[in-house]
Amino acid sequence: MKSLLNLFFLYIVITSIIYGKFEFAGKIKSYSVEKNRVEFNLTNAKFNIYILENNIIRFRFTNQKEFDRAPSYAVIYKQEEKTNFSFKEEKENFTISTDELVIQIKKDPCRVSIFDKQMNLINQDEESFGVAFDGDEVRCHKKLFTDEKFIGLGEKSKENLIKNGDQYTMWNTDFPAYTSTKDELYMSIPFFMGVRNFKAYGIYFDNTHKSQFNLGAANNRFYWFGAARGEMDYYFIYGPEMKRVISDYTKLTGRMELPPLWAIGYQQSRWSYYPESKVREIANGFRSRNIPCDVIYLDIHYMDEYRVFTWNKNRFPDPPKMLSDLKEDGFKIITIIDPGVKADPNYHAAKEGLEKNLFVKYPDGIPYQGEVWPSWSYFPDFTKKETRDWWGFKLSSLMKDGVEGFWNDMNEPATWGGGNIPDIVQFYDNGFVSDHKKIRNVYALEMAHATRDGLKKYSDKRHFILSRAGFAGIQRYAANWTGDNAVTEEHLRLALIMPVNIGLSGQPFIGSDVGGFMNGEPSNEMYIRWMQLGSFTPFFRGHSSIDTKAREPWAFNEFTEENARQAIQLRYKLLPFWYNEFFNSSKTGLPIMRAMFLNYQDDQNCYNLDAQYQFMIGENLLVAPVVTSTDKTKKFYLPKGKWYDWMNNKVETGGEYKIIEVPINKIPLFIKEGGMIPMQEVQNYVGEKNIEQLELVIFPSQKSTFSLYEDDGITYEYEKGIYSVTNFTCESAQNKLTFSVSKEKNSYNQNRKYYMLTILNSEQPKEIYSDKIEKKSIETNYDSSKKILKIKVPDKTEFTLTINF
């Protein structure tokens, strides 16, 4: 008996040590089945399961009396009032079934397990812990499978797309010259994917407080995610395809708006270009050297003592005239906009914000002031619609001057002194009033929201917004870049890894500061390699700090200038390809710059670190850039199938790693068999020329298709159906190739006159004819040394071309 008592007391002691003050979700006491959800009452919590779609389930726990009524900042999905599911009570479990998933909820204690329809386990609460509360803190513990890979979490600088074995924090932070070991960065996206047996699911944790994701760090039993405050509110998305998971995640949080075509071109920035004569000098530098460029940025020195919505009239005496002149030469001007409004009683923005009650405040009602570029400043409360409307109106004055977009910076929000806005500072929070701890991570999101609404309200043209910080859903409003990077070999590699990772997390319009922003000078070789990489990132901008040497392409030697020119020109040749991929992404939410395993989910080699320093653009183009300044070779992986080595004009067989020599003036590009890549002639800026010919580079397979989207690239007319979709089909049989063109939609006139078909790995043709094009109108050229056949034909709405070999 005594030994039993000792064991009992030992159990009590061990239990108290293990559980500490954590309170777990507990036993299910009662439930009710509603039209689109099931509601449970637990001993320690309330728990709702919402069935959004067959593969999207929302799990929501709170230890408060009621669920929070404040709307989500990230999720814009509107759940149907009635959804299809079945509910069954059993002795020890409840079971919810959809056409794709089976969710088992254990009664005592409440634990969730998710299966596919074949009852294969996909995801499971850790049996002993599940959801736990520790005062205000909330966590969810999930069973950790040894063969599971974790992917995502947005802007993380780890040099590996696989996130296993580490812990990550979501807390927007300005950290200049960060390294691969720095965790808290500018943007927080609490969404990740788990992949096991090559099948994927996603979890989006909809909580804006400081949150953490422990993906098996310091233990091999469970992974967990949680937040310092708020609810355990997460969405489970089943694929099993990663592409479907990402697409459905962006169904929840929104997708990128199709940007203006010029925003996909090259953009040049520096902290800072001033006065006006310097801006004109930079513009002339590009045009006189035939280096394409569409955008020049104005950093903080264009303002009057850093007051937003103003111009420094000594440096820029006539902004409308300057912007008009630059526009005539094809340049769009983007101005930086920081959230800090100088606390100057004579400054119109400060006076209006105070009068209209638009700034964040302390609990006693006094407006908060933080020190940033203008010195002590007020901070707009973008969680208030009146503030967002006012901010958009204030931006309209710059738009009237000719500004084409805005660069939202310092919007973590950053303040001097190494600290954050005090936690007690109050925000309107859409009428629910919250403190800085809840709002910090979404401050940039709502600033971008205000900027985007203002641009759409006061202009009928598409504009461009760039944001340093963000949260889940930022893709709805703005592009992002990876913050204040450094001139290091590590950051050259991160300029590939980080945009790919952010793309996997729902933000496709992403890039880095090409050449490195701060802390040194890139060598000629580093600058060339960075420029080559940048030309294949969705956002392509050169940028540098005020205390560095000039960083324009001609600031280096002639060889470097020429290689930078070639990289930028290649970007402009591929603009039809890029614009088509942006369109596809705006419809699907999928990244443009893709990890290899996104396109080849079942290929284990694509998850290896060696295969992560390469990527796909869309489905058909593989880019394997050199991401060191000194290497002259590149190791990369080609998935199974045939690939065309565009650099060396030869066919490679995939399914293995390759090592090739890569001269400093080359970037390895491979076209997948069946791939078609649309191209055009080089322009110095979008709209410089009327593009009369579309080139289609084709690596034929037995049968392949490609759809090309086109519109005016400027207005929102495409939303009214004014656009064109052209379908191309290429079929290859013995000694014959057939190429067909058809119009799926033809509401936009491209004014195109010709197609140039560039057929790779081709034999010399014996006969070429068409059903609708006269033979005399068909021009051909065959390069026997490269085995490339070029065929120029008039652009007919629909036609078929037959090539006999």
Where in the sequence numbering do the catalytic residues fall?
Answer: 409, 412, 484
Q: Where would I find the beta strands (DSSP E) of 263-312?
A: 267-268, 295-298
Ranges of beta strands (E only) in 161-228 are 167-170, 187-188, 191-196, 199-205, 211-214, 222-227
297 has which bridge partners?
334
Q: Which amino acid is at 419?
A: G
Work out the angle at residue 415's Cα, subtended by the Cα atoms of residues 411 and 419, and round it to the nearest 5 degrees.
Answer: 120
Could you count the other beta carbons within 10 Å of the beta carbon of residue 688? Answer: 15
Return all residues near 355 (Cβ < 8 A) that are at least 6 apart. none
Residue 163 · residue 155 · CB < 8 Å: no
Q: Do 739 and 757 contact (CB within 8 A), yes or no?
A: yes
Q: Cα dist. 759→316, 394, 765 in Å?
A: 51, 53, 11
Rounded Cα gap, residues 408 and 414, in angstroms: 12
Environment class of 88 (CB within 10 Å of its CB; exposed 0-12, middle 13-18, buried 19+) = exposed
CA distance 316 to 398: 13
Helices marked H in 2-70: 2-19
Write the DSSP symbol of residue 777: G
Residue 365 burial by CB count (10 A; 0-12/13-18/19+): exposed, middle or buried? exposed
Crossing angle of the two packed helices 436-458 and 385-401, in degrees rounded to 10:
40
Nearest partner of 540 among 260, 286, 336, 265, judged by Cα: 265
Per-residue DSSP letter, 306: T
Query: Which token pair is 96?
Result: 């919810």
* In 132-241, alpha helices (H): none
Residue whose entry in the numeric block shows the structure tokens 């090309």:
708
